[in-house]
Structure 1
Amino acid sequence: MGGGGEGERGENNSNSNVNCNGRGGGSAAGVQIQIPPSRRLPDFLQSVNLKYVKLGYHYLITHLLTLFLIPLIVMILLEAAQTNPEDVRELWLHLQYNLVSVLVCSAFLVFGSTVYIMTRPRPVYLVDYACYRPPSSLKVKFEQFMEHSKLSGNFDDSALEFQRRILERSGLGEETYVPEAMHFLPPRPSMAAAREEAEQVMFGALDALFLNNPFVKPKDIGILVVNCSLFNPTPSLSAMIVNKYKLRGNIRSFNLGGMGCSAGVIAIDLAKDLLQAHRSTYAVVVSTENITQNWYFGNKKSMLIPNCLFRVGGAAVLLSNKSSDRSRSKYKLIDVVRTHRGSDDKAFRCVYQEQDDTGMVGVSLSKDLMAIAGGALKTNITTLGPLVLPISEQLLFFATLVAKKLFNAKIKPYIPDFKLAFDHFCIHAGGRAVIDELEKNLQLLPIHVEASRMTLHRFGNTSSSSIWYELAYTEAKGRMRKGNHVWQIAFGSGFKCNSAVWQALRTVKPSPNSPWADCIDNYPVQIIDGFTQPQQK
């Protein structure tokens, strides 16, 4: 939804590329899954566009230019501290006869100080965040999902079989959640039910956030950004939050719609820019998706995949630009890099909300989705590289790139080791296939994609909030140490790929109301070809 289902392939005809010789039941025996090469994520690091490398260094120079003034000022102060009174007297006599030099130097210092103060980015701190944990009554097992789909009478035999096979290979477990309206027979999607789902998710996450941080009152919030792709009622979701928590009248509130699963990073970027412009305030970002009115009740296979993958979830994030909040904050925002491929028609339409031939509304996934995702990822990662990679990796990368571009050397470009730049990876849990391919292309270890796989298994694709469930998983495992760097990467309709980089300011302990609080000891589970295997003891 709104960029969802990125991890699986849409089918535009009745033929499926999955051959299942055995059925579910938690066993992978007898299952053969054939993925055509054209549907795999391209090996995007094997072909590098030089303009995106330049763009990355443009980001780097822009970010670091103002920092050059700091060592200059320090050097001047150190030199001044070493002078004796006689040197100061001689300097004064010299300046008396060089008025022009004095004025020029003074103007330079004033101008440089002004530029530094005006352009110096304010640190943005992630004080805390909370993920919504739905009640157990909303859990849906595969058998229940298929039984309800059959009894609803909306799907033909081919569509039911297709959904069963998608579920079996999806990487989802048996404890994900669907909204209450989908538990009825027949389902009861309505505006009222959709509002109720939105309120439960947003208010549930915000209640937990304010409970964990009693020093922040709702009236202290100066900026509110809400993103939800497919449900945008009037009044807006952001207005619902303002009304519920009685936020102040001059709050700067924004409601982002239709921006897909990558909108969570976009919302963070917007909040960051607003925190640069408005001093001493808090910003709250709420990322969610709404399923109630966006369930597809038709038989077009490219539109059925979101039904199988998307589940209830949401997150609320508290940001601050106050220096006094550094000591109580969990993370500091380092960089945000956004890539938009919407100018390309294929990319624009690869995740597209539309009506099928019978008038049923759904989100259609193009067969070119994986190739388009690969191109967006390549652009984003190539731009991000110069900002985060150590110099040694950049030198090796450039040496092979120059040899290939200028001398036509028959060598493969050097693949930078992003494991040297990041300690933890939060890859959007859009689907099993993309997680698999990113693990392969970036040469990651299973532990690096564990948070993404387990989030997909436990909570399903919760759209833009999935990267926060993944971060919560890492914390619940006790793996987040002071100084660790985290890479959140998400992608969605448009087509967009966005990255956020965070640095842990302390060793982070799991929140008492973490979504993983009562089940973290059961993870990781072993997943083979989409089937959950017994945990290895």
Structure 2
Amino acid sequence: MDNNREGVQIQQNRRLPLPDFLQSVNLKYVKLGYHYLITHLLTLCLIPLMSVIIIQVSQMNPQDIHQLWLHLKYNLVSVIACSTILVFGSTVYIMTRPRSVYLVDFSCYKPPSNLSVKFTKFVEHSRLKGDFDESSLEFQRKILERSGLGEETYLPEAMHQIPPTPSMASAREEAEQVMYGALDNLFANTKIKPKDIGILVVNCSLFNPTPSLSAMIVNKYKLRGNIRSFNLGGMGCSAGVIAIDLAKDMLQVHRNTYAVVVSTENITQNWYFGNKKSMLIPNCLFRVGGAAVLLSNKGSDRRRAKYKLVHVVRTHKGADDKAFKCVYQEQDDVGKTGVSLSKDLMAIAGGALKTNITTLGPLVLPVSEQLLFFTTLVVKKLFNAKAKPYIPDFKLAFEHFCIHAGGRAVIDELEKNLQLLPMHVEASRMTLHRFGNTSSSSIWYELAYIEAKGRMRKGNRIWQIAFGSGFKCNSAVWQAMKHVRASSKSPWEDCIDRYPVEIVT
């Protein structure tokens, strides 16, 4: 008897979740129906209106239609006035509209295999250098294990030496290998001659020699004398989007030309040899990497271009003292220089993200999502201040997400806050695992991953989002012009079949 009761109870327990499941399914389809209704509202309203007009016209007498035609035929003044307004308006629109900016192709640098560094090698070399106490060595080992990095990331040649050789010459050598490696491949894949480049923008936060990195590129490739060149320094991991924005603005001014953006970071002279924990974290996360991007405002490049730039949204929180100092280059108590990361970093990044998407949302979200967000905002302001704000569903606006691979915590936080699925952050996690934090170029390794997987389809929308010192949160939105395949010598070319891999927690 007791067994029967237990069986009945088990059956009842199994049935309990069913109504909740049905309710969630119903809500899902209600939301889909709502989005469809709002998105096609204009069409749904125009259909009855057009039906009424057609019915009215069909009921008119032939004599009335003839009189209407004669009125239009002989009213010459109205026809000329309307034609003039139409021509003038069209001319003004064509002359003042922003020029389209196309991404013809991009290339990411892949270092040679002899520069890869396993965790055991990293810790052993740190011990042999003699600069770190046991507490710092153990701290770095734990950070590596939890970082999300794999065993194949790269450090520059100078950091493989015992003792390390962080000289100016070594730093220049690292910069040359990365920048020239990416540019050589870019020029080979696009068949563009260096002399055709009219605009050059280079960004590197921590290494700014004289002559500049941009001047090094001009000298190497013998670029033309009237090139508009820019060198951005100290702008952190989000400087890649800033460089794209600058190149875009320049392409609005200078017609029929190409712009090259080079995004990189330099590790050689910026390794921290002290024992302050907050300054040791960059040693564990940052790795060698760089990317070169070819942009064009030529209409003739539309067909061969991979992507079209749709929006760039930049957010700067530097007016706030905590945000300004959360990523800060300084000297420790014994005079050793490094970059310190504040414990408030994730909270500040979250605030910057909120500000950025508040601006970006109306530009990219469907009207249905904007209405929901606005309605909940009004309700929160007027009736219930404790009500949770509605988080827009950015999955309705983008097919692909390239979140800066700054660290595991950054990716986790954005996945949670934006309510993304694991597939949406796969490119970011795998880039962090394979190449580490390559600073401003990480979003390009992520885009290369999506291409290598064959997931990019014509019309797909991509959201690149990056965070950087200052504190800044910057977004770039692209749209695929065609089904995109990975270019020759992609950084994922020899390993894409192994990915995605399981990240050990």
- With the length of structure 2 as denominator, give the TM-score of the two structures: 0.84
Aligned AA (2:75): L
Q: CA deviation at 1:402?
A: 1.1
SS at match of 1:401: helix
- Give the match for residue 406 of structure 2: 430
- Give the match for residue 183 of structure 2: 206
Quote the Cα distance in structure 1 between the aligned partners of 2:413 and 2:93.
Answer: 43
1:390 equivalent among 348, 366, 376: 366
- Give the match for residue 291 of structure 2: 315
SS at match of 2:139: helix
1:209-220 correspondence to structure 2 within 5 Å: 209-214=186-191, 216-220=192-196
SS at match of 1:235: coil
- Give the match for residue 246 of structure 2: 270
1:301 equivalent among 267, 277, 283: 277
Percent identity between the two aligned chains: 82
1:131-210 correspondence to structure 2 within 5 Å: 131-210=108-187
SS at match of 2:302: helix
2:76 equivalent among 71, 75, 92: 92
Greater helix content: 2
Task: Return the index of the structure with the highest Cα Rg.
Answer: 2
- C-alpha change, 1:110 and 1:83, in structure 2 (3 Å) is farther
Q: CA deviation at 1:401?
A: 1.3
1:248 equivalent among 209, 224, 241: 224
Q: CA deviation at 1:322?
A: 0.6
Q: Could you report, residue by residue, the CA deviation over 1:96-155 in whole angstroms, capped at 9, with x for unpaired residues?
A: xxxxx96xx798667644542343011100000000000001000000000000000111
Q: CA deviation at 1:371?
A: 1.0
Q: Could you report, residue by residue, the CA deviation over 1:459-482 in whole angstroms, capped at 9, with x for unpaired residues?
A: 000000000000000011111011
Q: CA deviation at 1:158?
A: 1.0
Quote the Cα distance in structure 1 between the aligned partners of 2:371 and 2:149.
Answer: 41
- C-alpha change, 1:518 and 1:122, in structure 2 (3 Å) is same
Q: CA deviation at 1:189?
A: 0.6
1:126 equivalent among 87, 103, 109: 103
1:339 aligns to 2:307 (yes or no): no
Quote the Cα distance in structure 2 between the aligned partners of 1:400 and 1:482.
Answer: 34
- C-alpha change, 1:83 and 1:272, in structure 2 (3 Å) is farther
SS at match of 1:328: coil
Aligned AA (1:157): E
- Give the match for residue 222 of structure 1: 198
- C-alpha change, 1:87 and 1:210, in structure 2 (3 Å) is farther
SS at match of 1:475: helix
2:263 equivalent among 287, 306, 312: 287
1:69-84 correspondence to structure 2 within 5 Å: none
- Give the match for residue 514 of structure 1: 490
2:475 equivalent among 494, 499, 518: 499
Aligned AA (2:238): S
Q: Could you report, residue by residue, the CA deviation over 1:349-383 in whole angstroms, capped at 9, with x for unpaired residues?
A: 11011111111110011111111111101100111
Aligned length: 440
Quote the Cα distance in structure 1 between the aligned partners of 2:462 and 2:238.
Answer: 16
Quote the Cα distance in structure 2 between the aligned partners of 1:527 and 1:93.
Answer: 73
Q: CA deviation at 1:269?
A: 0.4
Q: CA deviation at 1:413?
A: 2.0
Quote the Cα distance in structure 1 between the aligned partners of 2:92 and 2:382.
Answer: 39
SS at match of 1:528: coil
SS at match of 2:303: helix
- With the length of structure 1 as denominator, give the TM-score of the two structures: 0.79
SS at match of 2:494: coil
SS at match of 1:265: helix
Quote the Cα distance in structure 1 between the aligned partners of 2:361 and 2:101.
Answer: 21
Q: CA deviation at 1:416?
A: 1.1
Aligned AA (2:222): K
Aligned AA (1:190): S
- Give the match for residue 388 of structure 2: 412
1:472 aligns to 2:472 (yes or no): no
Q: Could you report, residue by residue, the CA deviation over 1:397-444 in whole angstroms, capped at 9, with x for unpaired residues?
A: 111111111223753222211111100000000000110111111111
Quote the Cα distance in structure 1 between the aligned partners of 2:430 and 2:315.
Answer: 27
Say which is worse superposed, 310-319 or 404-413, in terms of deviation: 404-413
Runs of 4+ aligned residues of structure 1 deviating over 6 Å after TM superposition are 82-85
Aligned AA (1:411): A
Quote the Cα distance in structure 2 between the aligned partners of 1:433 and 1:93.
Answer: 68
Quote the Cα distance in structure 2 between the aligned partners of 1:461 and 1:119.
Answer: 40
Query: What are the ranges of 5 or more consecutive residues in structure 1 without an aligned counterpart?
Result: 1-81, 96-100, 530-537
Quote the Cα distance in structure 2 between the aligned partners of 1:528 and 1:384.
Answer: 34
Q: Could you report, residue by residue, the CA deviation over 1:161-203 in whole angstroms, capped at 9, with x for unpaired residues?
A: 1111111100000000000000000000100000000000000
Q: CA deviation at 1:301?
A: 0.7
SS at match of 1:501: strand
Aligned AA (1:321): N
- Give the match for residue 447 of structure 1: 423
Aligned AA (1:485): R
RMSD (Å), alpha carbons: 1.9
2:207 equivalent among 221, 228, 231: 231
Query: What are the ranges of 5 or more consecutive residues in structure 2 without an aligned counterpart?
Result: 1-65
- C-alpha change, 1:507 and 1:92, in structure 2 (3 Å) is same
1:481 aligns to 2:465 (yes or no): no
SS at match of 1:225: strand
SS at match of 2:76: helix
2:93 equivalent among 109, 116, 124: 116
2:499 equivalent among 517, 523, 526: 523
